[in-house]
Amino acid sequence: MAMSEFALDSGNTAWMLTASALVLLMTPGLAFFYGGMVRTKSVLNMMMMSFGALGLVGVIWILWGYSAAFGTQGNAFVGNPFQYFGLVGLTDQNSIMAASGVPALVAVVFQATFAIITVALISGSIADRTKFSAWMVFAGIWLTIVYVPIAHMVWGGGFESPTGWVAQHISAPIDFAGGTVVHINAGAAGLALALLLGVRKGFGKEPMRPHNLPFVMLGAALLWFGWFGFNAGSEFAADGVAGRAWLNTMVATCMAMLTWLATEKIRDGHATSLGAASGVVAGLVAITPAASAVDSFGAIALGGIAGILCALAIGLKYKFGYDDSLDVVGVHLVGGITGTLLIGFFATHHQGAWYPAGAGDGLLYGGGFKQLGAQAVAALIAVTYSFVVTILIGLAIKKTMGLRTSEEVEVSGIDLAIHGETAYETIGSRATMEVNA
């Protein structure tokens, strides 16, 4: 289709509007998932970090985020934030979904939901001890100088795109719906902040059990529901490839939940509800980059491997002493890397799977090591850039406004101290609020 032409496809447009709504629902779902995993005294703060990210990123994305990520001006690392500042000058003809007949504004809202959930994911690694004001400042800066450049490099025609440096020298990396852009990116940032903040008071010495497991399971269910828009919507059309992504998302997630539960049973003697919910998320994370690039057997294998590896990885924080409060590193970083690398083994052109120009089959389908190499390079770039820049952002905030709450606030309860309210009214909390009033 020529750049001067645009033919509206109402079916694809209706699907992309629906997919955008599904992905937006994932952030409130994440708030329930994370909120249930923390202790009673910090549940509101945890949920507010997701809602705060939703509000802030939603505005920034419209002003300069989309332009810098998907504008046609700029370089291999980032676009021009002023090309479509406030969406001025953006037309349907230069929409990233123009070939599918989807208007530019629909493309903007769909990509906004990805940016929102990515920022919100990071908050799980710093639960119970982070200033809300510092989190909001961090979220805006991180979106602008970490998420946007990586999105541009992978999806916006930059360094890791099908026409970028990696494709020219190795093979075109495959990231259908956000293995590197969303999950590796957020996981590496979560690790950086967890190391910078230090551990919670009592970490490793006293129990910090989830206060509301039904919240956790509700959140996982909402995430799974919304994820069909996340993955199947990334085709930008209502077609067979979207169907393949939908099916793979379902079956890989089912398998990951089963293998996580089996790992728990063998290791701990119990298959838990928390394990079921975490296994669901691990499977969703791992299949995200590969959703359209593997067949059914590949999706089952990928999900099964991810469930085992992520279940084992969440224990690393106790071994190495970093306090990744809600297992962002164990699930999103490890799951994202697992899914991204396994593309190099299981990717196949069979069954009409979507491929970027220049991508090849995986090792198990006769493609050799080229695709695995491209996936490894893409993952390494995302981990390195996100981790290093996040550390720099965190240090700057720590030196200026401070990043961590006081020990008194952390011990007494961040909800009441920071937000002036509690999730569950008790005699003590009611008396404290009356005194503060």
What is this structure's pTM? 0.95
- Give residue 370's domain range: 10-404
pLDDT, mean of residues 421-431: 71
Domain harbouring 47, CATH code: 1.10.3430.10
pLDDT of residue 234: 97
Instruction: Give the CA-trace dihedral at 141, 32, 339, 149, to 10 degrees.
Output: -10
Q: Calculate what percentage of the chain has a pLDDT beyond 90.
A: 91
Please state, in angstroms and rounded to a whole number, the distance separating the CA atoms of residues 96 and 115.
16
Please indicate, yes or no, if residue 414 is contained in any of the structural domains.
no
Is 161 inside a domain boundary?
yes
Between CA 74 and CA 80, with CA 75 as vertex, the angle to 5 degrees is 20
Structure tokens at 434: 């009356």
pLDDT, greater one: 436 or 250? 250
> How many DSSP H helices and E strands does the chain contain?
19, 0
At 2, the pLDDT band (50, 70, 90 cuts) reads very low
pLDDT of residue 353: 62
Tell me, yes or no, whether 40 lies in a domain: yes
Mean pLDDT to the nearest integer, 411-429: 86
Is 249 within 8 Å of 231 (Cβ atoms)?
yes
- Residue 3 is predicted with a pLDDT of 46
Q: Is residue 4 part of a domain?
A: no
| 212 pLDDT more than 50 | yes
At residue 426, the pLDDT reads 66
By mean pLDDT, which of 75-79, 150-154, 198-202, 423-427 is the weakest?
A: 423-427
User: Per residue in 73-107, pLDDT tens?
Assistant: 989 999 999 999 999 999 999 899 999 999 999 99
Residue 3 inside a domain? The answer is no
Q: What is the mean pLDDT of the chain?
A: 94
The span from the CA of 88 to the CA of 347, in Å, is 39
Q: 322-381: per-residue pLDDT in tens?
A: 999 999 999 999 999 999 999 999 999 765 566 777 899 999 999 999 999 999 999 999
* Residue 106: inside a domain: yes
Containing 287, the helix (H) or strand (E) segment is: helix 273-287
256-295 pLDDT, tens digit each: 999 999 999 999 999 999 999 999 999 999 999 999 999 9
What's the pLDDT at 356? 74
Q: How many structural domains comprise the chain? A: 1
Distance between CA 327 and CA 122 in Å, rounded? Answer: 10
Q: How confident is the model at residue 307 (pLDDT cuts 50, 70, 90)?
A: very high
Per-residue pLDDT at 1 exceeds 50: no
pLDDT of residue 431: 47
Is residue 419 in a domain? no
Identify the CA nearest to 35 among candidates 272, 220, 187, 312: 220
Q: Does 324 reside within a domain?
A: yes
